[in-house]
């Protein structure tokens, strides 16, 4: 079995201007160094607003900070008359490693469908970056006990037309919508149920090697005090962290979950 390096990604959402971003990156760097962070045990990534990316890049490169960074969304289009959009090539030029596609907030507030998310994942891959493809059910689906088929249907469309190698290289974030920003965390068993089912579906569609390599994150009210139990589950390869990633001490503990 492949040793999948867990990916602990902080999704800042629409928080921190570029000045605040510099402070948060530096504080996180010091805190991780103090804790003897070992990048071979978990990968740390910051998913920041577009206006923060250049600042984060300058700090990470200048100070050789062991962190990846990326964007929260991308345009479907390569260039041209798309006012307000940011292209994948623009993000690649800033050396973004990751781009989140299909976050539930994009689905809810910007009408993004599984088909759009599939197209965005392809655009990100074509530009040489790694998509973090988000999926997850709302409360009514969970209450009906339909979370596994619902999420697998999302995954089928979001990954349609990709090669096995592309799927092996990307990240899937399972985020039950009812657990995002609510303090209502899924149990480790809930997370494993869906993450395990996603891996099985990847195996059935793209083969055993892709399933073995693809990283599957859990997201939704992850905190320092619940990450260890979630990460103990075999099919959970990291976390997509919202609120808790805005606090350097809290996020450093999540990144260094292995040291607890
Ligand atoms: P949360 O957000 O950790 O604040 O629940 C998670 C996310 O939206 O990725």
For the stretch 43-84, pLDDT in tens is 999 999 999 999 999 999 999 999 999 999 999 999 999 999
Active site residue 175: yes
Q: Model confidence at 136, in pLDDT bands (50, 70, 90)?
A: very high
Q: At which residue do the structure tokens 């995954």 appear?
A: 155
**Which DSSP symbol is given to 4?**
P
Sign, CA dihedral 202-134-90-255, equals: negative
Contact 216, 195 (CB under 8 A): yes
Distance 15 CA to ligand 1 centre (A): 13
Task: Locate the ligand 1 atom nearest the alpha carbon of residue 179 and give its number.
Answer: 5
Specify whether the CB–CB gap between 87 and 75 falls below 8 A.
yes
Q: Which residues have any ligand 1 atom within 6 Å of their CB?
A: 11, 175, 180-181, 219-222, 240-244
Which residue lies with its CA nearest to atom 6 of ligand 1? 242
pLDDT at 182: 87
Chain centroid offset of residue 189 CA: 20
**36 annotated active-site:** no
Residue 1: the pLDDT is 60
- Do 56 and 33 form a contact (C-beta atoms < 8 A)? no
Q: Are the beta carbons of 141 and 183 closer than 8 angstroms?
A: no
pLDDT of residue 3: 85
114: Cβ–Cβ under 8 A, 6 or more apart, which residues? 102, 153, 154, 157, 158
| Cβ atoms 183, 163 nearer than 8 A | no
- Does the pTM surpass 0.95? The reply is yes
Q: C-alpha distances in angstroms, 218 versus 99, 174, 181?
A: 16, 5, 13
Q: How confident is the model at residue 184 (pLDDT cuts 50, 70, 90)?
A: confident
* 219 CB neighbour count, 10 Å cutoff: 27
Sole residue written with tokens 């990283």:
215
Q: 215 is written with which tokens?
A: 């990283």
Catalytic residue among 112, 175, 193, 250: 175
Nearest CA to ligand 1 atom 7: 242
- d(CA 71, CA 127) in angstroms, rounded, equals 13
* Residues 246 and 161 sit within 8 Å (Cβ to Cβ): no
- Ligand 1 pocket check: which of 243, 253, 255 to mutate, most ligand atoms within 8 Å of Cβ? 243
Minimal CA–CA distance to 244: which of 39, 6, 4, 8? Answer: 8
CA of 235 to the centre of ligand 1 (A): 19
Any residues with CB less than 8 A from the CB of 34 and at least 6 apart, and which? none
State pLDDT tens for residues 76-132: 999 999 999 999 999 999 999 999 999 999 999 999 999 999 999 999 999 999 999
Residue 152: predicted pLDDT: 98
The atom of ligand 1 lying closest to the CA of 134 is 9
Please state the atom number of ligand 1 nearest to the C-alpha of residue 182. 5
Interatomic CA distance for residues 129 and 144, integer angstroms = 36
Q: Do residues 183 and 221 make contact, with C-beta atoms less than 8 angstroms apart?
A: yes
């Amino acid at each position: 079995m492949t040793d999948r390096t867990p990916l602990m990604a902080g999704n800042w959402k629409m928080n921190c201007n570029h000045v605040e971003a510099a402070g948060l990156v530096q504080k996180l760097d010091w805190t991780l160094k103090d804790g003897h962070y070992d990048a071979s045990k978990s990968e740390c990534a910051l998913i920041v607003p577009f206006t923060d990316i250049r600042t984060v890049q300058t700090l990470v490169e200048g100070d050789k900070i062991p962190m990846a960074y990326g964007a929260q969304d991308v345009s479907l289009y390569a260039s041209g008359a798309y006012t307000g959009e940011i292209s994948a090539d623009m993000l690649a030029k800033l050396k973004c490693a990751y781009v989140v596609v299909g976050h539930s907030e994009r689905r809810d507030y910007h009408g993004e469908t599984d088909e759009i998310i599939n197209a965005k994942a392809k655009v990100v891959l074509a530009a040489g970056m790694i998509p973090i493809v988000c999926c997850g059910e709302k409360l009514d689906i969970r209450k009906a006990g339909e979370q596994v088929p619902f999420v697998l249907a999302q995954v089928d469309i979001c990954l349609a037309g990709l090669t096995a190698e592309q799927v092996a290289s990307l990240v899937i974030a399972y985020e039950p919508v009812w657990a995002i920003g609510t303090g209502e965390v899924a149990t480790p068993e809930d997370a494993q149920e869906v993450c395990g089912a996603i891996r099985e579906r990847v195996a059935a569609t793209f083969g055993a090697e892709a399933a073995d390599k693809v990283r599957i994150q859990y997201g939704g009210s992850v905190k320092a005090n619940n990450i260890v139990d979630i990460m103990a589950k075999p099919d959970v390869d990291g976390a997509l962290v919202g609120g808790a990633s805005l606090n350097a001490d809290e996020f450093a503990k999540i990144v260094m979950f292995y040291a607890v």
